[in-house]
Chain A
């Protein structure tokens, strides 16, 4: 069964550094999402992406964040200058023509 994959599984970075989290959505899906989950808290929506542009973003998704679909398979989340509070699990999800979003296994980001 096709799956959403994410790399890396874990990332440790210094405050102020840039990180890029990568996702490979399910191949025929057209809608892509990033979520984050701070340890012990609920999942929070960051951004949705369709037709090569952002369709929706939350208040969390400020100028430090950007998303890109650099080629036909990858979907990336870039955090330009990481802060301590960016430490979280970041989930990518993709959706086809149905209603269900399929989540990847997540990237655990730790900012020191």
Chain B
């Protein structure tokens, strides 16, 4: 069964500090992995998307890594800001027979405090 597990479930950090969120998956066949940011009560917004051959991808203060061998990904946030407070969701897609299957992780709830 396709699964995406994220850790930690929740995290509180001080403004300006860095943090790293983890994602482990068992989705097969693997197509791509995306990290989304979801503010409370809003739709997810894409941060990064990575395919099998990509090890790292940055988007401003967000840097995602992917190890396709161990089926792990991380999202590193540098110099956190109060506006980074949100849920961060790891989403893994598989493509089978032309159909895209999407499996969402449970998310990590990040709170950045002054």
Contact = CB atoms under 8 A, between A and B. Distances in A.
A102 B46 contact: yes
B29 interface: no
B43 A56 contact: no
Could you tell me the dominant secondary structure of chain A's interface residues?
A: strand
Interface residues of A, number: 24
Interface stretch (A39-47, A60-68, A72-80): A39-47
Interface residues of B, number: 23
A45 B102 contact: yes
Majority DSSP secondary structure for residues of B touching A: strand
A48 B34 contact: no
A89 B39 CA distance: 13
Given A43-B89, A99-B32, A99-B93, A48 B43 contact: no
Contact of A48 (B32, B99, B105): B99
Contacts of A4: 43
A41 B49 CA distance: 23
B83 interface: no
Contacts of B101: 45, 56
A89 B41 contact: yes
B99 A55 contact: yes
Contact of A99 (B36, B45, B49, B105): B49
Contacts of A105: 42-43
A31 to B, nearest CB: 8
A6 to B, nearest CB: 8
Interface of B: 31-32, 34, 36, 41-46, 49, 51, 89, 93, 99-107
Given A45-B103, A99-B34, 4 more contacts: A45-B102, A89-B41, A102-B46, A103-B36
22 contacts: A4-B43, A31-B100, A42-B89, A42-B104, A43-B44, A43-B89, A45-B101, A48-B99, A48-B100, A56-B101, A91-B43, A99-B31, A99-B32, A99-B49, A99-B93, A100-B34, A100-B46, A102-B46, A103-B36, A103-B44, A106-B42, A106-B43
